[in-house]
Structure 1
Amino acid sequence: MKTLSNARVSELFEHYFAVAPVAVVKAPGRVNLIGEHTDYNGGFVLPAAINYHTYIAFAPRADRSLRLVAYNFDNELVTVDLDVDQVDDRNASWANYVRGVVQEMRTQGFALAGGDLYIAGDLHSGAGLSSSASLEMALIRALTALSGEQVDPTQAALMGQAAENNFVGCNCGIMDQLISARGQEHAALLIDCQELTARAVPVPADWEILIVHSGVKRGLVDSEYNQRRQQCEQAAAYFGQTSLRGVALEQLLAAEGQLDELSFRRARHVLTENQRTLAAANALAEGNLAGLIKVMAESHASMRDDFNITVSAIDTLVNILADAGEGKAGARMTGGGFGGCVVAMAPATVIPQLVAAVELYYQAKTGCEPTLIRAKASAGAFA
């Protein structure tokens, strides 16, 4: 997908609306280095905002409506009345994220103001890089700029999450919105999803992130994502807890055979993944490549065997990257699962051999066409 810029999206707005926008805002997507399906369980995650974004150019209107145009959906136009309760529109799926954000902002007491908005992104939709959270954070930035209102970055993230939970119908955790809002350049964030605190973990200057889209598109709302969340909640309830954050791994292991096998395995993934995420943050901070590679490999195996969210093509891709790295590259599936992307981290000098191996072997083995995305840890929408 072609990389966009503030200037390019400003031009697109002017071409469509025949006037110049007053401003352009953007919000990044993200890649999660480790910590999968831990966020909605009150656990730990280690994502980085990346240098691919949703951009919104905008200008005020005199009435109480939003006119939104989506570049990535053939310039589809959607109009939203700010003074009515929003209604789900199944004919414009991207617009439901907009309607959900507007609904949540109204609920939170934001006055909002009318405007013309041109939305364009260079994130791959359905890749597990949080194009939806990026849209939500960019939209909140644009809407508060139009109305002259202030919003705290964490409040913005919570409203974006609520829009997906309550309106779109995806019971996602807080990670995607929080990293899009609060990401830092040259660093991942270790996020405690229960306390909503974040600590920057610098990425060594000579390491790079390689994201590979498997060519298997995923859709969280229609996948088994919500089912996994229910299974985790059932496991937590067995121990009298509202989330797995309140359960110790030793408690869980002692209950093996008493808890049903599926709930046990789902919970084991989450609790061991929390430990791996903390270990990964320490390894990253210390520049300990071997330590990071180990926990990334263990994370992928846990997602495959205990959480059952990988697919054959993804497993093949991870193996290709690990073999090509020759002990100098960590690789794992990233995102909600059932397709999407794999993330690899390695010294910059190793990245070309990873790219070459994917191009040589992956499509031949799976029939799927990969997309290689070299990414940098970047600043969040409100940074």
Structure 2
Amino acid sequence: MQDQILSAFESTFGARPAALVRAPGRVNLIGEHTDYNAGYVLPCAISYETLVAISPRQDSQVNVIALDWELQCDTFDLQQPIDHHPQQQWSNYVRGVAVELIRRDYALRGCDIAITGNVPQGAGLSSSAALEVGLAKAMLIASDLDAHPLELALIGQAAENDFVGCACGIMDQLISAAGVNGQALLIDCQDLAITSVRLPDSLRLVMINSNVQRGLVDSEYNTRREQCEAVAAHFGLSSLRQLDPAQFAARASELEPVARKRAQHVLEENQRVLDTVAALEQGDLPRLGQLMAASHASMRDLFEITTPEIDLLVETLSEVAGERGGARMTGGGFGGCVVALLAEDLVDSALHEVNRRYFAATGLRETVYQSEPCAGVSVIFTD
């Protein structure tokens, strides 16, 4: 992938790039739809990543070529109003990051950019966050500037919220910016405190893409966020994180049924994240499996974001795991990926069983990804 982007950059812009940046995708082990509710999440960065090659220019123009979108190109000027691209959605991530950097008073130089990556798109593994964080880091380098990982994450989140139009929380960008080799990160999305959590050596991290097309994910994601915010407002709070479970139980009848289910998921999921950290630290695999199963059931029954195909994958993996691991849907929902933490000697049999059952039941072929937890955004080289 590095050879491809370097070759494409040189053939497009006539010279080797001044810098090459990588930013990873992520998988969330537990804590779904809790980040924008100021709750807890437990993601880790994965070895699937976005690459951004960049060189500064002597003017204010930005030129971009996207290897993964049929070599489509985009051009805009940093000193002119930057509007949405009417056709190329990938361009709006580039433009959105530039807009946010300018809004934060970074003195950006024009630049030539090439982008590529192997984070599966539409799988719930945060290809968009990897692109945003990688672009922010690269555009700052090209301007002889830099920023703290938290700042990079906030820039990426703001670009997605305010320019692209998806009301995501901070988790995806923060783990892409601040990931740690071999560890998951417990992120408190209320104060953005981060605690490293090492996974037991006996466990392997497996992600399985259902390859279900996620047509509703953006609109339904935003709807879920609006529902959660409405419940918080009903209690006079700024987020569901501030809602005491006892207070919720006492006044739940005031809420309409759908809103009640959404809030119940968030409150219980926050506690499951903390309980999962304890289970991992203690090597308590039966408890880990129970918590992942409960999280998935809550996403299915209370938050209503799973699909029959996803449920089948989780059921199959959980049966093989027994008391030596667990599985759940990960990501925004309505398709995408399942994440499993499995004892190493169970991985082959679990994947065999998925392969045997999934196509027969759905007519779809799953895609399997395996990864160790890896580091966040980094510079591969710079002149």
Tell me the amino acid that sits aligned with residue 294 of structure 1: Q
The equivalent residue for 2:286 is: 290
The equivalent residue for 1:242 is: 238
How far apart, CA to CA, are the structure 1 residues paired with 2:243 and 2:218?
29
How far 1:207 sits from its partner (Å)?
1.4
The equivalent residue for 1:352 is: 348
The equivalent residue for 1:92 is: 88
From 326, 334, 337, the counterpart of 2:322:
326
Cα deviations across residues 68-102 of structure 1 (Å, max 9, x unaligned)?
Answer: 11111011111121112221113000011111111
1:201 maps onto 2:201 in alignment: no
How far 1:18 sits from its partner (Å)?
3.1
What does 1:207-356 align with in structure 2 at a 5 Å threshold? 207-218=203-214, 222-356=218-352
Q: Report if the CA contact (8 A) 2:217-2:332 is conserved.
A: no
How far apart, CA to CA, are the structure 1 residues paired with 2:187 and 2:153?
13
Tell me the amino acid that sits aligned with residue 365 of structure 1: A
How far 1:152 sits from its partner (Å)?
1.3
Tell me the amino acid that sits aligned with residue 275 of structure 2: A
The equivalent residue for 1:130 is: 126
Cα deviations across residues 324-354 of structure 1 (Å, max 9, x unaligned)?
Answer: 2233220000000011000000122111111
How far 1:188 sits from its partner (Å)?
0.2
From 172, 178, 181, the counterpart of 2:177:
181
What does 1:130-149 align with in structure 2 at a 5 Å threshold? 130-149=126-145
Consecutive unaligned residues in structure 1, runs of 5 or more: none
How far 1:219 sits from its partner (Å)?
5.3
How far 1:153 sits from its partner (Å)?
0.9
Cα deviations across residues 248-277 of structure 1 (Å, max 9, x unaligned)?
Answer: 111111123221111111000000000000
How far 1:10 sits from its partner (Å)?
2.0
How far apart, CA to CA, are the structure 2 residues paired with 1:29 and 1:131?
6
How far apart, CA to CA, are the structure 2 residues paired with 1:158 and 1:220?
25
Cα deviations across residues 220-247 of structure 1 (Å, max 9, x unaligned)?
Answer: 7643011100110111111110110110
How far apart, CA to CA, are the structure 2 residues paired with 1:67 and 1:264?
48
Q: Report if the CA contact (8 A) 1:153-1:382 is conserved.
A: no
From 8, 21, 26, the counterpart of 1:12:
8
How far apart, CA to CA, are the structure 2 residues paired with 1:51 and 1:220?
27
How far apart, CA to CA, are the structure 2 residues paired with 1:374 and 1:16?
33
Q: In structure 1, the residue corresponding to 2:85 is in which secondary structure?
A: coil
Alignment identity in percent?
47
Aligned residues: 379
How far apart, CA to CA, are the structure 1 residues paired with 2:81 and 2:273?
40
1:192 maps onto 2:171 in alignment: no
From 43, 46, 49, the counterpart of 2:45:
49
Consecutive unaligned residues in structure 2, runs of 5 or more: none
Q: TM-score, with normalisation over the residues of structure 1?
A: 0.96
The equivalent residue for 1:378 is: 374
How far apart, CA to CA, are the structure 2 residues paired with 1:108 and 1:307?
35
Q: In structure 2, the residue corresponding to 1:110 is in which secondary structure?
A: coil
How far apart, CA to CA, are the structure 2 residues paired with 1:139 and 1:36?
26
Cα deviations across residues 34-80 of structure 1 (Å, max 9, x unaligned)?
Answer: 00000000000000000010001112222211111111101111112
The equivalent residue for 1:151 is: 147
Q: In structure 2, the residue corresponding to 1:27 is in which secondary structure?
A: strand
Report the RMSD for the aligned CA atoms in angstroms: 1.4
The equivalent residue for 1:34 is: 30
Cα deviations across residues 162-217 of structure 1 (Å, max 9, x unaligned)?
Answer: 11111111110000000000000000000000101110001122311100000113
How far apart, CA to CA, are the structure 2 residues paired with 1:265 and 1:222?
20
Q: Report if the CA contact (8 A) 1:325-1:353 is conserved.
A: no
